[in-house]
Homo-oligomer: A and B are copies of this chain.
């Protein structure tokens, strides 16, 4: 294993400590619960927006905490749901008069932790609601999922409910907006290589030198098909056909287009994918009104990418445009 790591057991806490040191004025780290929260949260005039998930998907979700985005994130260990008491303690600390919205990517382990954490918080009188995200079109059920997986499209749900909550939207309104964005968001990914969890020290699965996994999950779950590697444009076409046909997105639609790197792929290659996706959507009469090319939801060091489309209307587009800040900044 070739990684920058000390003790694999300390991978997550050391990362979180680094994140907090890099953002001393804006983020607070609570080591007992892997909790990263905004220094100015909770606020009683604002719904608190919280996401938990396994670690290993950075910048999701601990680095998506900031103004106009998450109020807090409570990750579990690498590829493991946070324990229910982390969820409970996080909800308690983020308690606001306007309530707490817990965003959960649709994995069985995460749902269980959040269902129970919510129940414990409710028993304490903390008003919480759950919102599940399931944007991955690749497979119907998966290794760790009943129903579709939640992947990079999650960013758009966070962005929209984060913006709405800053504007003072109440909990019901935040839920309405989050569900609406999730309903018009679709993603599919592809792996060129497997990822290596620090504690395992070897790749999670094997891919031959000339093979790719179409529809891979962000924990290395199998996708639709293992096949021979193809030119970038052909890979984009296959991903995009699956995504566009699913909602479906149609001629005349305005969309947000995201090309998300899975951790080990350089940004140069992501723009080569973006170019083809943009061209192919234009050919179908679909207008890319907002562009996202970066790492948003990764799978450790996996080489690969995912494509996400969001069908825009005036409300969603306005919320996506609203100002926002996050922990992993450029400047």
Contacts and interface: CB of A to CB of B under 8 A. Distances in A.
Contacts of A55: 268
Contact of A298 (B229, B266, B278, B305): B266
Interface in A80-135: none
Interface string A317-331: 000100010101111
B329 A273 contact: no
A3 B320 CA distance: 31
A2 interface: yes
A301 B58 contact: no
Q: How many copies does the complex hold?
A: 2
A5 B326 contact: no
Nearest to A14: B272
27 contacts: A2-B192, A2-B209, A3-B269, A4-B192, A4-B269, A4-B305, A6-B232, A6-B272, A11-B268, A14-B271, A14-B272, A15-B272, A15-B275, A17-B275, A19-B271, A21-B274, A21-B291, A22-B291, A63-B267, A264-B264, A264-B301, A265-B301, A266-B300, A267-B298, A268-B300, A292-B330, A293-B328
Interface string A254-271: 000000000111111111
A271 B58 CA distance: 10
A158 to B, nearest CB: 11
Contact of A268 (B56, B159, B268, B294): B56
Contacts of A326: 330
Interface string A16-54: 111101110000000000000000000000000000000
Contact of A159 (B11, B303, B331): B331
A269 B58 CA distance: 10
Nearest to A266: B263
A193 interface: yes
